[in-house]
């Protein structure tokens, strides 16, 4: 049998090793150059300490015979993460929890004579609602006197976006999509309100940090040589970590209540209608018997939780950062293990970014689920964003095998609101037009009217489309 | 002048400015942490007594 092997596109920066797909298995190669650090991670008790508390992904060492690379030292089979999400898809508290987990890991590493050599937000993923470090090769032996090599990266990936989201506008979290190595500190310093200079943590880690970067960068944009050589004691380093932690903990954001409050109560359903819709969604989901569900337009996750309670790992996506924030807080509070809230604007989903446009994959490239829930969604895409119904069907067919979709007719107050300020240019937006468009990609398995409304819920299965 | 630390695995550019700022703030924050820990010990004695 021939071996099929490919390096994961985003795994190229660190010479310590890389991720690869080998005969359909996702593996991590550890290189000989990293040998002493890897051995220290495993023997110092740090690996055990972190994995027992769910802060580091577990792995098994596998037979290296499969790999012919002379640089290879070990081959690891890491625990798989249900869905790889990116920091620009996280709500404020998700990014904050990821930042605090990174600092917690760094403190534990220092206690074991090691230090994080990077602090990338992309190295943190969510298992359940718990942030976990997925890069086993992020540790290096701590050298007394050495400043924290990942300090700049921590400030750019975590502190800067959190400060901007908290103190300026939560939507600035999306800057992480444009700045793949975190928000530059000089830009952060300009955007933050002037009063943040009186916040000791932000003064030091953003404003002074940015000014010092400028001072030691020459006209060609190269970092200049420092004028004097001195080090940072371990106590000093612990002080910096403690200060970063206090600064991050001091940042807060509360969703604007007007945007989401009582949404479910105000979604033009009667209680009977809501209960009936929930029952129908539950029934349809049981029929599909699937493992992975994507709820699009999930709001605060009412219907996502029906799927999650049936044992499906559920991605609960919404464009409103406030709704996602509340969804995440609820999931944390209830210690939900198979629900992941995400910020996602369906009219402009996360693109492929980074080197060669392949370093961080697009949302649609990462997301292949058994079932999509598209409840109270189609009218937003079709009427508010003018997307033809057939294009919506094609998009959904690219994500899923099964579809639970709601059609809300023009007579419904929600659609009336959308049409009240604009001309009705949607003659095919009718139940018949909707069914005809979706039949191009799906087979309609079942149609159920929702009680006390004109709405309909459909269970659909993707059609095998013959290619000429 | 150079920093003399092992750079074998330093694939990340830490930035000289980011090193310097740590040197500038380390003593202050290190002392602050020590005082904080000391203060916690003091208050924990009283808490235990209560």
pLDDT in tens, A395-408: 999 999 999 999 99
Task: For residue A189, give the H/E element and its range.
Answer: helix A185-191
Residue B2 has pLDDT above 50, yes or no: no
Q: What is the pLDDT of residue A223?
A: 54
Residue carrying structure tokens 């908290």:
A166
Q: How far is CA B25 from CA A408, B16, B28, in A?
A: 59, 14, 5
pLDDT confidence tier of residue B8, bands split at 50, 70 and 90:
very low
The alpha carbon of residue B8 is apart from the nearest alpha carbon of chain A, in Å, by 8
Q: Is A209 on the interface with B (CB under 8 A)?
A: yes
CB contacts of A13 in chain B (<8 Å) are: 11-12
d(CA A116, CA A372): 38
β-bridge mates for residue A443, sequence order:
A461
CB contacts of A230 in chain B (<8 Å) are: 23
Q: What DSSP assignment string belongs to B3-41?
A: --S--SS--S---HHHHHHHHHHHHHHHHHHHHHHHHHH
Which chain B residue is nearest to residue A209, measuring alpha carbons?
A: B21
CB contacts of B39 in chain A (<8 Å) are: none
Q: What is the pLDDT of residue A227?
A: 47
Tokens of A277: 């819709």
CB contacts of B4 in chain A (<8 Å) are: 229
The alpha carbon of residue A241 is apart from the nearest alpha carbon of chain B, in Å, by 9
Q: In A313-441, where do the E strands start and end?
A: 313-318, 339-343, 369-374, 400-407
Task: For residue A178, give the H/E element and its range.
Answer: helix A175-178
HSE-up (13 A, CA, CB side) for residue A309 = 11
Q: Is A33 on the interface with B (CB under 8 A)?
A: yes
d(CA A377, CA A399): 15
Residues of chain A whose pLDDT is less than 70? 1-5, 66, 218-230, 257-268, 466-468
β-bridge mates for residue A17, sequence order:
A30
Is A224 close to B36, i.e. CB distance below 8 A?
no
Q: Is A250 on the interface with B (CB under 8 A)?
A: no
Tokens of A161: 């976006």
Which chain A residue is nearest to residue B24, measuring alpha carbons?
A: A232
**How many other CB atoms sit within 10 Å of the CB of residue A145?**
15
pLDDT in tens, A254-276: 987 655 545 554 556 778 888 99
d(CA B34, CA A268): 58
d(CA A97, CA A126): 10
A residues 95..124 contacting B (CB < 8 A): 117-118
HSE-up (13 A, CA, CB side) for residue A393 = 21
Q: What is the pLDDT of residue A69?
A: 83
d(CA A171, CA A190): 17
Strands A139-141, A339-343: pairing kind: unpaired
CB contacts of B23 in chain A (<8 Å) are: 147, 230-232
Distance of CA A344 to the CA centre of its chain: 9
Is A243 close to B29, i.e. CB distance below 8 A?
yes
Select from A183, A190, A192, A129 the least CA-distant residue to A339.
A129
Residues 6+ apart with CB under 8 A from A422: none
Q: What is the pLDDT of residue A425?
A: 85
Per the CB < 8 A criterion, the answer to whether A161 and A172 are in contact is: yes
The alpha carbon of residue A152 is apart from the nearest alpha carbon of chain B, in Å, by 6
Residue B6 has pLDDT above 70, yes or no: no
Tokens of A412: 């419904």
Residue B17 has pLDDT above 60, yes or no: yes
Interface probe for A, chosen from B7, B8, B10, B30 (most Cβ of A below 10 Å), is: B30
Is B4 close to A14, i.e. CB distance below 8 A?
no
d(CA A352, CA A355): 9
Per DSSP, A145 falls in state B
Is A117 close to B10, i.e. CB distance below 8 A?
yes
Question: Above 0.95 for ipTM, yes or no?
Answer: no
Q: How far is CA A5 from CA A10, A64, A68, A134, A465, in A?
A: 15, 14, 11, 21, 30
CB contacts of A216 in chain B (<8 Å) are: 15-17, 20
Residues 6+ apart with CB under 8 A from A385: A347
Strands A130-133, A124-127: pairing kind: antiparallel
Per the CB < 8 A criterion, the answer to whether A66 and A3 are in contact is: yes
Residue A454 sits at φ, ψ, to 5 deg, of: -95, 10
Q: What is the pLDDT of residue A12?
A: 78
The alpha carbon of residue A10 is apart from the nearest alpha carbon of chain B, in Å, by 15
d(CA A253, CA A359): 30
Q: Which residues of B touch A (CB under 8 A)?
A: 1-6, 8-34, 36
d(CA A93, CA A115): 25
Interface probe for A, chosen from B7, B11, B19 (most Cβ of A below 10 Å), is: B19
Select from A151, A73, A140, A110 the least CA-distant residue to B9.
A140
Select from A187, A183, A176 the least CA-distant residue to A89.
A176
Query: Stretch B31-45: mean pLDDT, rounded?
Result: 90
Is A148 close to B36, i.e. CB distance below 8 A?
no
Residues 6+ apart with CB under 8 A from A130: A54
Q: Is A435 on the interface with B (CB under 8 A)?
A: no
d(CA A432, CA A129): 41
Is A147 close to B23, i.e. CB distance below 8 A?
yes
Q: What is the pLDDT of residue A271?
A: 81
Residue among B3, B21, B33 whose CB faces A242 most closely: B33
């Amino acid at each position: 049998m021939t071996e099929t092997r490919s390096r994961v596109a985003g795994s190229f920066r660190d010479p310590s090793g890389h991720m690869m797909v080998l005969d359909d298995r996702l593996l991590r190669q550890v290189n000989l150059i990293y040998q002493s650090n890897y051995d220290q991670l495993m023997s110092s008790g740090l690996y055990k300490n972190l994995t027992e508390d769910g802060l580091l992904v577990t792995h098994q060492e596998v037979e290296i015979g499969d790999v012919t690379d002379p640089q290879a030292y070990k081959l690891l089979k890491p625990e798989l993460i249900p869905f790889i999400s990116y920091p620009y898809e996280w709500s404020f508290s998700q990014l904050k929890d990821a930042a605090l987990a990174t600092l917690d890991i760094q403190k534990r590493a220092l206690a074991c004579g090691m230090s994080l050599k990077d602090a990338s937000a992309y190295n943190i993923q969510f298992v359940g609602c718990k942030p976990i470090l997925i890069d086993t090769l992020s540790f290096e032996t701590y050298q007394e006197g050495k400043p924290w090599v990942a300090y700049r990266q921590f400030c750019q990936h975590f502190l800067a976006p959190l400060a901007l989201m908290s103190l300026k506008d939560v939507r600035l979290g999306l800057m992480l999509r444009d700045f793949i190595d975190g928000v530059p500190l000089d830009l952060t310093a300009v955007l933050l309100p002037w009063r943040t200079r009186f916040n000791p943590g932000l003064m030091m880690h953003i404003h002074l940090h940015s000014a010092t970067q400028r001072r030691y960068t020459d006209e060609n944009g190269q970092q200049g040589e420092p004028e004097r050589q001195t080090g940072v004691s371990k106590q000093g380093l612990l002080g910096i970590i403690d200060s970063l932690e206090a600064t991050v903990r001091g940042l807060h954001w509360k969703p604007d209540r007007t945007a989401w409050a009582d949404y479910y109560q105000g979604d033009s359903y009667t209680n009977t209608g809501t209960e009936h819709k929930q029952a129908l969604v539950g029934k349809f989901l049981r029929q599909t018997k699937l493992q992975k569900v994507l709820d699009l337009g999930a709001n605060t996750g009412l219907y996502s939780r029906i799927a999650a309670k049936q044992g499906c790992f559920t991605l609960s996506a919404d464009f409103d950062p406030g709704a996602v924030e509340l969804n995440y807080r609820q999931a944390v509070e209830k210690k939900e293990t198979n629900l992941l809230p995400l910020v996602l604007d369906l009219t402009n989903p996360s693109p492929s970014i980074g080197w060669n446009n392949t370093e961080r994959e697009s949302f649609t490239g990462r997301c292949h689920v058994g079932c999509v829930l598209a409840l109270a969604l189609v009218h937003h895409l079709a009427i508010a964003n003018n997307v033809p119904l057939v294009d919506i069907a094609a998009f959904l067919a690219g994500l899923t095998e099964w579809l639970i979709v709601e059609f809300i007719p023009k007579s419904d107050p929600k659609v009336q609101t959308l049409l009240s300020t604009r001309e009705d240019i949607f003659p095919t937006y009718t139940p018949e037009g909707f069914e005809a468009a979706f039949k191009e990609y799906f087979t309609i398995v079942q149609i159920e009217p929702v009680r006390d409304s004109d709405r309909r819920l459909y269970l659909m299965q993707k059609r095998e489309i013959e290619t000429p | 002048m150079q920093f003399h630390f092992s750079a074998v695995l330093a694939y990340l550019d830490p930035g000289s400015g980011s090193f310097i700022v740590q040197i500038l703030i380390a003593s202050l924050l290190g002392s602050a942490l020590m005082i904080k820990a000391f203060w916690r010990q003091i208050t924990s004695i009283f808490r235990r007594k209560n």
